Protein backbone atom coordinates (compact mmCIF):
# COMPACT_ATOMS: atom_id res chain seq x y z
CA UNK A 1 0.00 0.00 0.00
CA UNK A 2 1.22 3.46 -0.74
CA UNK A 3 0.98 6.24 1.80
CA UNK A 4 -1.34 9.09 1.02
CA UNK A 5 0.64 12.33 1.02
CA UNK A 6 -0.66 14.91 3.43
CA UNK A 7 -0.32 18.60 2.94
CA UNK A 8 0.53 20.86 5.85
CA UNK A 9 -2.27 22.81 7.45
CA UNK A 10 -2.54 26.35 6.09
CA UNK A 11 -0.97 29.00 8.27
CA UNK A 12 -3.11 31.61 9.95
CA UNK A 13 -3.41 34.71 7.82
CA UNK A 14 -4.75 36.98 10.54
CA UNK A 15 -4.30 37.09 14.30
CA UNK A 16 -6.66 38.79 16.74
CA UNK A 17 -5.57 40.21 20.08
CA UNK A 18 -7.46 39.13 23.21
CA UNK A 19 -9.12 42.57 23.42
CA UNK A 20 -10.20 42.55 19.76
CA UNK A 21 -11.54 39.00 20.09
CA UNK A 22 -13.48 39.87 23.26
CA UNK A 23 -14.97 42.88 21.47
CA UNK A 24 -15.90 40.70 18.47
CA UNK A 25 -17.50 37.96 20.57
CA UNK A 26 -19.30 40.27 22.99
CA UNK A 27 -20.42 38.76 26.28
CA UNK A 28 -19.53 35.11 25.61
CA UNK A 29 -19.32 34.15 29.27
CA UNK A 30 -22.60 32.47 30.05
CA UNK A 31 -23.72 30.05 32.67
CA UNK A 32 -22.05 26.68 32.58
CA UNK A 33 -18.64 25.67 31.31
CA UNK A 34 -16.54 28.54 29.94
CA UNK A 35 -14.97 26.38 27.22
CA UNK A 36 -18.41 25.50 25.86
CA UNK A 37 -19.63 29.12 25.92
CA UNK A 38 -16.45 30.22 24.14
CA UNK A 39 -16.81 27.50 21.50
CA UNK A 40 -20.44 28.49 20.90
CA UNK A 41 -19.50 32.19 20.54
CA UNK A 42 -16.67 31.37 18.13
CA UNK A 43 -18.92 29.09 16.09
CA UNK A 44 -21.57 31.82 15.87
CA UNK A 45 -18.96 34.39 14.77
CA UNK A 46 -17.67 32.07 12.03
CA UNK A 47 -21.18 31.26 10.80
CA UNK A 48 -22.13 34.96 10.81
CA UNK A 49 -19.04 35.76 8.74
CA UNK A 50 -17.56 38.15 11.31
CA UNK A 51 -14.64 35.79 12.00
CA UNK A 52 -12.96 34.90 8.70
CA UNK A 53 -11.29 31.54 8.05
CA UNK A 54 -7.60 31.17 8.94
CA UNK A 55 -7.87 33.65 11.81
CA UNK A 56 -5.86 32.78 14.91
CA UNK A 57 -7.69 33.63 18.11
CA UNK A 58 -6.21 33.80 21.61
CA UNK A 59 -6.55 31.03 24.14
CA UNK A 60 -9.47 30.79 26.54
CA UNK A 61 -7.19 31.91 29.37
CA UNK A 62 -6.10 35.02 27.45
CA UNK A 63 -9.72 35.86 26.61
CA UNK A 64 -10.86 35.44 30.20
CA UNK A 65 -8.24 37.96 31.31
CA UNK A 66 -8.97 40.43 28.49
CA UNK A 67 -11.03 43.50 29.28
CA UNK A 68 -14.42 43.11 27.67
CA UNK A 69 -15.86 45.89 25.57
CA UNK A 70 -19.30 45.25 27.06
CA UNK A 71 -18.20 45.82 30.62
CA UNK A 72 -19.56 49.00 32.19
CA UNK A 73 -16.89 51.50 33.23
CA UNK A 74 -16.12 51.74 36.92
CA UNK A 75 -16.94 54.99 38.67
CA UNK A 76 -13.91 56.86 39.95
CA UNK A 77 -12.91 56.21 43.54
CA UNK A 78 -13.76 58.98 46.00
CA UNK A 79 -10.86 61.24 46.83
CA UNK A 80 -10.43 62.98 50.19
CA UNK A 81 -10.66 66.78 50.12
CA UNK A 82 -7.86 67.05 52.63
CA UNK A 83 -5.53 64.16 53.33
CA UNK A 84 -5.09 65.00 56.99
CA UNK A 85 -8.74 65.65 57.87
CA UNK A 86 -10.16 62.48 56.31
CA UNK A 87 -13.23 64.36 55.02
CA UNK A 88 -14.87 63.43 51.75
CA UNK A 89 -16.42 65.65 49.06
CA UNK A 90 -20.18 66.14 49.20
CA UNK A 91 -22.01 63.68 46.95
CA UNK A 92 -19.43 60.92 47.28
CA UNK A 93 -20.39 57.52 48.61
CA UNK A 94 -18.58 58.14 51.88
CA UNK A 95 -19.98 61.58 52.65
CA UNK A 96 -22.17 61.67 55.79
| Structure confidence by residue, pLDDT tens digits, 18-46 | 989 988 888 877 778 878 888 898 999 99
pTM score, whole prediction: 0.55
How many beta carbons lie within 10 A of that of residue 24, not counting itself?
17
Rg (CA), the chain: 23
Query: Nearest 10 degrees: CA dihedral of 40, 45, 46, 50?
Result: -170
Q: pLDDT, tens digit, for every residue of 44-53?
A: 999 999 998 8
* Alpha-carbon gap, residue 67 to 61, rounded angstroms: 12
Amino acid sequence: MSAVPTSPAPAAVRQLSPTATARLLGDWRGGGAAYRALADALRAAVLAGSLPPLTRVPSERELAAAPSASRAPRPPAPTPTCASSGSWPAGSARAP
